[in-house]
Structure 1
Amino acid sequence: MSNLLFDGRELNMEEKFGLIAEAGFQGIDAFTPEPGESAELWRTLLEQYGLALSVNVYPRSIEDMRNALERAAAYGSIRAVNVQVLTPFVTGDAAVTLLSGIADLADEYKLPVNVETHRGTITQDLIRTAEYAERIPNLRLTADLSHYVLAGEMLNVPEQAEAYFQLLLSRADCIHARLSNGEQIQVDIGTDGSHPMLARYGQWWQDGMRSWQQSHPEGGSLLFVPELGPPPYAITIDEPTNRKREISDRWEQSLTLMRYARSLWDSI
């Protein structure tokens, strides 16, 4: 919703909540509200519009992660915590130790914690991330496969990558919906979902949904987030006025992804 204009202006906080709820979304992915008036406003609006809240954190250490979970636990009513571990050059046993500690903290605080597969973080390498998942049984993930498609310039996905994707999807409690074409991180899928890569991502997403259903016979809900960022994620046209105009309507594309995800879920 950042820098997203409706009739030439950005909506205020309550207008954004109302639009999100009216469109049929069930929650908001944001950050742990700051204590004080901000936290109370968020609490009021979430309750008023019947929306869940998941939050993002960016630790570099176990201490950072504990502090983030303390804040989340103090706020309460947080559906899940999405984690980008900002140590891209930590590898091997040191990475396993850090990720194991984060997974153990999730158990300690009884909060769903999902480490995101993301460029520039501890999970930036597909092969190493698959190894971490194999070595840490309680590590849960947010699967954003667009980062691996881009980093590996996977205009066509090799069989070896597919096997790794399936392993990570089997451990995902959250899916981030963004399409990379192997050259750009966030491409325009068309409001009718006509982009040729959408069916390929749809198969991955449905595989993740199916794995989640099989591993959660007690039910619950898998998080699916149409995660379309503003520039520089969104592709822009540089105009003579030095204004960067997005080529996509992020809101309409988010609606398309929401509807598409529900159709995938319903067809399992």
Structure 2
Amino acid sequence: MQVKIFAPHWGSNELPPQVFIDRVLEAGFDGIEMSLPLDAAQRDDWVRRIADAGLGLIVAQWETVFHPGFEAHKRALRELLVNACEARPLLVNSHTGKDYYTQEQNEALLALADSISRDYHVPIVHEIHRSRFSGHPALLMPYLERMPQLQLTADLSHWCVACESLLEDQPDTLEKTLPRVRHIHARVGHAQGPQVADFRAPETAPELQAHLAWWDRIVALRRADGAELMTITPEFGPAPYTFSQPYTRQPVSNAWELNVAMLALLRGRYEAASSSS
């Protein structure tokens, strides 16, 4: 099984497309995860540049956050997912639903995504994320039970915050969730926030080890299932995810540097595992 590692566009949005793509190539990523413009010409320009660079593409859909009402959210989700699938990415990572929608409303959104996925033959996976339908383990469990086709992006840093822990007391939750994961957001969170200041610092060793154990388990499950590909995106983000100094607002760490460092850690970890298996 190949493990491919993608660069997040989040945090580098100010860069011109080719400058960002060259940065991704220089760092050694296998592809890019990004949201795409709704303007078809701009979307296709990004897709062409990424393909010409020999990089893979994962499309991120997060913009439904701007549509809190259910009907507006549903209309936006349809438009954004169709736009994403028309780019023919490896997969679409979707921020779907809200934690305050009813189960029936969220299931309608998940069914819509499933229909679009089947129409375009593009996998759509749904991100574990605060304020979405999956924002807390107790919220997600009913959907896993009722929707066997539901596939997830594991950003478990969000559950660390929601549960104010490293999930040590929820082995059953993880046992039910991790087999549904098809994509990983490799950011290290902690019990009071979704992002440690620097995962390389010795004081964050417990958090790093917890996340690595989850990711190792997901990779092992996918390999055991005979999957040909596993995708991972290091996703350390800009302020306010990155801590900043009071008054000066200077960041205490560089998100791009952290993502490149995580790339190196994951490359060594999973390439070594692949070559020995």
Where on the TM-score scale, by shorter chain, does this alignment land: which range? 0.7 to 0.9
Quick one: distance in 2 between partners of 1:73 and 1:81?
7
Quick one: distance in 2 between partners of 1:37 and 1:89?
36
Which structure carries more helix by proportion?
2
Equivalent position of 1:211 in the other structure = 221
Equivalent position of 1:14 in the other structure = 18
Specify the code of the residue in structure 2 equivalent to 1:176.
H
Equivalent position of 1:234 in the other structure = 242
1:48 matches 2:52: yes
5+ unaligned residues in a row in structure 2: which ranges?
A: 1-8, 65-69
* Alpha-carbon offset, residue 40 of structure 1: 4.1
1:53-68 matches, within 5 Å, as 53-58=57-62, 59=64, 60=70, 61-68=73-80
Secondary structure of the residue aligned to 1:244 is coil
Specify the code of the residue in structure 1 equivalent to 2:18.
E
**Structure 1, 226-235 or 249-258: larger mean CA deviation:** 249-258
1:40-189 matches, within 5 Å, as 40-58=44-62, 59=64, 60=70, 61-74=73-86, 76-154=87-165, 156-159=166-169, 161-189=170-198
Quick one: distance in 1 between partners of 2:31 and 2:202?
22
* Alpha-carbon offset, residue 167 of structure 1: 1.9
Contact 2:133–2:139 (Cα < 8 Å) also in 1: no
Over the matched positions of the two proteins, sequence identity in percent amounts to 24
* Alpha-carbon offset, residue 143 of structure 1: 0.6
Specify the code of the residue in structure 2 equivalent to 1:71.
N
Quick one: distance in 2 between partners of 1:164 and 1:224?
21
Quick one: distance in 2 between partners of 1:105 and 1:214?
28
Equivalent position of 2:273 in the other structure = 267
RMSD: 2.5
Contact 2:78–2:112 (Cα < 8 Å) also in 1: no
Specify the code of the residue in structure 2 equivalent to 1:258.
L
Partner deviation per Cα, 1:204-225 (whole Å, 9 max, x = no partner):
001011112222x2x4322201
Quick one: distance in 2 between partners of 1:132 and 1:12?
40
After the TM superposition, which parts of structure 1 deviate over 6 Å for at least 4 consecutive aligned residues?
A: none
Equivalent position of 2:252 in the other structure = 247
Q: 1:36 to 1:113 in 2, by over 3 A?
A: closer
Q: 1:164 to 1:264 in 2, by over 3 A?
A: farther
Contact 1:206–1:264 (Cα < 8 Å) also in 2: no
5+ unaligned residues in a row in structure 1: which ranges?
A: none
What TM-score results when the alignment is normalised by the length of structure 1?
0.85
Contact 2:11–2:255 (Cα < 8 Å) also in 1: no
Q: 1:135 to 1:86 in 2, by over 3 A?
A: closer
* Alpha-carbon offset, residue 146 of structure 1: 0.5
Q: 1:104 to 1:70 in 2, by over 3 A?
A: closer
Partner deviation per Cα, 1:231-254 (whole Å, 9 max, x = no partner):
111111123xxx411111212211
